[in-house]
Amino acid sequence: MTTAGTAHETTTRPGPAAARQHSLREHNLELVARAVFEVPEPLSRAGVATATGLARATVSTLVDQLVAAGLVRELPAVTGGRAGRPAVPLVPAPRTVVGLGLEVNVDYLGARVLDLTGDVVAERVVPGSFHDSDPTAVLARLGALARELSDEVTASGMTVAGARLALPGLVDPRAGTLQVAPNLGWSSIEPVPLLGLDLDVQVANEAKLAALAELAGGSDVAAPDSFVFVSGDVGIGAAIVVDRRLFLGERGWNGEIGHVVVDPAGPRCSCGAFGCLEQYAGKEAMMRAAGLPADAPLADLVARLRADDADLPAGRALGSALADFVNLIDIGTIVLGGAYTELLPWLRADVEAALTERVLAAPFVDLQVRAAQAGPHAALTGGAREVLARVLADPSAWV
Ligand SMILES: [Zn+2]
């Protein structure tokens, strides 16, 4: 997990015996909520009792509390069960408690609200250019966008449980600090107060949140258990998922594949070094190589590629950087997100050739390069999902 801290503190302080009672109830509430949220087909109260091993009467009381809290919804009863008694299917409640994902990236600001069913309830993505920008002004602007969205959903009767702010750089979620985001030109700041939001907001790395969105699965294909997620935009970030969990290194500062060296004699990067991958396979580098303005929309590049009117030399550089990654960490599935998802048809051959050529284990493993399923601006979805995961981990705070 990239996050830490407690979102909702209880206000009462029970004595030791009551505490035991209280925490048992909290634990059981979480079990019941998870049983409802984490199954593909809706369960009835009896189904939840079977799944959790809790007594039917206990489950019924807890389900009533989750329904009253707006976390769980009862569908119309269906008959035809073995005992002949109608069963009431239980599902996550739509449009009640929602999570807010926020993002500052080099060429857009975004805010997205997800409800407990995983539906996008509202969103705004505003294009811009935030190279070497002023964090105070940019975060105030994103804060205003977030407030607008939050007011909108609150007016519709929803409750915003909190927010995650995705940033393209090194962040310390515990301290709430951004160490450095080279493309934004930001360093050593505390971003959350600059948003000016009256919400529990935590910071996280953009690629890590996008990988969590990917892990939740797309509409077509379930996510693999282990993969390298590469988020290719102006900057290039990566996240390593092992057995369905983020591998974070010592501080969560791994995955900086954009600053892997492609050519030490290459052009200077925003990080200060020379010949980093971003200078060859970042979005602006790809635009320039195709003869387009650096800030042209991705659709322009795709149109040129479709018309066979441009080259995409980024694939070789990306492939060789990925081969280094795979040689080091032994994960054979690579999921390409951000701008790479749409560009994959023109990147695939070069990426796969580089992997085959450079990964020592290539003849013995099934190396796979896939398009991300999580959709555009996946960090917004990952952030909102993280907020809702916290609600689910402690539903008693809402009961
Ligand atoms: Zn660099």
Chain segment 233-268, per-residue pLDDT in tens: 999 999 999 999 999 999 999 999 999 999 999 999
Distance 30 CA to ligand 1 centre (A): 43
> The domain spanning residue 103 has which CATH number?
3.30.420.40
Residues 230 and 339 in one domain: yes
Report if residue 218 sits inside a domain.
no
Q: What is the mean pLDDT of residues 132-148?
A: 98
Q: What is the mean pLDDT of residues 82-97?
A: 87
Distance 259 CA to ligand 1 centre (A): 4
Band of pLDDT at residue 11, cut at 50, 70 and 90: very low
Distance 267 CA to ligand 1 centre (A): 10
> The domain spanning residue 26 has which CATH number?
1.10.10.10
* Residue 167 pLDDT greater than 80, yes or no: yes
Residues 199 and 314 in one domain: no
Nearest to 162 by CA among 191, 206, 201: 201
What was the pLDDT predicted at 79?
Answer: 80
pTM, whole model, 2 decimals? 0.92
* Residue 360 pLDDT greater than 50, yes or no: yes
Residues 159 and 230 in one domain: no
Residues 229 and 115 in one domain: no
Residues 229 and 367 in one domain: yes
Scan for tokens 């992997």, then name that residue: 355
Distance 276 CA to ligand 1 centre (A): 5
Residues 101 and 87 in one domain: no
Distance 280 CA to ligand 1 centre (A): 11
Report if residue 67 sits inside a domain.
yes
Distance 237 CA to ligand 1 centre (A): 11
Amino acid sitting at position 393:
A
Report if residue 206 sits inside a domain.
yes
Phi, psi of 159 (to 5 degrees): -115, 125
What was the pLDDT predicted at 218?
Answer: 64
Q: What is the mean pLDDT of residues 329-342?
A: 97
Residues 242 and 364 in one domain: yes
Report if residue 24 sits inside a domain.
yes
* Residue 16 pLDDT greater than 80, yes or no: no
Domain that holds residue 11: 2-92
**Lowest-confidence segment of 38-47, 253-262, 315-324, 383-392 by average pLDDT:** 38-47
Contact 145, 198 (CB under 8 A): no
- Whole-number Å distance between alpha carbons of 260 and 279: 10
Which is it for strands 227-232 and 333-338: parallel, antiparallel or unpaired? parallel
- Whole-number Å distance between alpha carbons of 122 and 199: 17
Distance 102 CA to ligand 1 centre (A): 25
Q: What is the mean pLDDT of residues 134-139?
A: 98
What was the pLDDT predicted at 22?
Answer: 65
191: tokens are: 């971003």
Please count the structural domains in the chain: 3
Distance 132 CA to ligand 1 centre (A): 15
Distance 57 CA to ligand 1 centre (A): 59
Distance 272 CA to ligand 1 centre (A): 6
Distance 274 CA to ligand 1 centre (A): 7
Which is it for strands 236-242 and 245-247: parallel, antiparallel or unpaired? antiparallel
Please report the sign of the dihedral spanned by the C-alpha atoms of residue 345, residue 349, residue 350, residue 354. positive
Distance 261 CA to ligand 1 centre (A): 8
Q: DSSP 3-state helix, strand, coil percentages of the chain (rounded to 5)?
A: 40, 25, 35
Distance 269 CA to ligand 1 centre (A): 5
Residues 133 and 166 in one domain: yes
Distance 291 CA to ligand 1 centre (A): 22
Distance 116 CA to ligand 1 centre (A): 38
Distance 111 CA to ligand 1 centre (A): 27
**Lowest-confidence segment of 6-15, 124-133, 302-311, 385-394 by average pLDDT:** 6-15
Residues 189 and 266 in one domain: no
Distance 268 CA to ligand 1 centre (A): 8
Contact 369, 1 (CB under 8 A): no
**Which residues have a Cβ under 8 Å from the Cβ of 4 and sit 6 or more positions away?**
173, 174, 202
121: tokens are: 């309830």
Residues 206 and 163 in one domain: yes
Radius of gyration of the chain (CA): 23
What was the pLDDT predicted at 10?
Answer: 31
Phi, psi of 76 (to 5 degrees): -55, 145
Indicate the Cα dihedral angle 339, 345, 349, 350, nearest 10°.
Answer: -30
Residues 138 and 273 in one domain: no
Distance 282 CA to ligand 1 centre (A): 11
Distance 122 CA to ligand 1 centre (A): 35
Burial of residue 94 (number of CB atoms within 10 Å: 0-12, 13-18, 19+): middle
Distance 278 CA to ligand 1 centre (A): 7
Residues 48 and 80 in one domain: yes
